[in-house]
Amino acid sequence: MKFFVDTADVEEIRSLVETGLVDGVTTNPTLIAQSGRRFEDVIAEICNLVPGPVSAEVTATDQEGMLAEGRYLAKIAPNVAIKVPLTPEGLMACRILTGEGTLVNVTLCFSAAQAILAAKAGASFISPFIGRLDDVGETGMDLIQEIVEIYDHYPDFRTEVLAASIRSPLHVIEAAQIGADIVTIPPKVLHQLFKHPLTDKGLSDFLADWKKTGQRISVV
């Protein structure tokens, strides 16, 4: 499973990239707005830090506008993935951009039917929003299960399932169990994956026992 980090905070990304666990980055207009910086500058800086795909979202809602913005953003760096909404216009733009060799992330997916259309349009990634489905009383992971099962039936589908709107470590575990190709994780949740109280206690106990020996490991 690949880990994308869901943020536009460049310093946070820099720190997480150093762990060797980050395979890509997703951003959106909300995250970019929170950064307070120029959109293109943020995307360019992130692309320099991360060798994998960096999603940059268009803001136009018509096909021609999406194509114009997508082509412009794709010139920022070779690892830019253009993010388009799952609308008829977005899927038409997806097919054209994909045909031009551009990575495309189709976002705001809330049904298996939509995911089938995205795969037919040649999307590089489909982003089902797990947490937002949970928020309205549905089980978001059921959608991941449906999409993975459907895609597995059709080897010609090259679209990777990118579980988005991840809210907790449990979401990450469940997505991995189901077989999602990618999870895009807020930094807070990624940090939580490291934590377990028994790990902290075990390390504390080991260090206390070692201190009692009075020894040191000599490093020459």
Quote the CA–CA distance of 63 and 95 in Å, as a whole number: 11
Quote the CA–CA distance of 183 and 23 in Å, as a whole number: 10
Contacts of 144 (CB under 8 A, 6+ apart): 128, 130, 161, 163, 174, 175, 178, 180
Is the sign of the CA dihedral 81, 86, 91, 95 positive or negative? Answer: positive
Structure tokens at 127: 């982003």
Identity of the residue numbered 12: E
| Active site amino acids | 83
Please report, in angstroms and rounded to a whole number, the separation of the first and last CA atoms in the chain.
39
Distance of CA 159 to the CA centre of its chain: 14
Dihedrals phi, psi of 126, to nearest 5 degrees: -115, 130
Dihedrals phi, psi of 127, to nearest 5 degrees: -115, 90
In the three-class reduction of DSSP (H, G, I as helix; E, B as strand; rest coil), residue 163 is classed as strand
In the three-class reduction of DSSP (H, G, I as helix; E, B as strand; rest coil), residue 182 is classed as strand
Q: Which residue has the tokens 């830090």?
A: 49
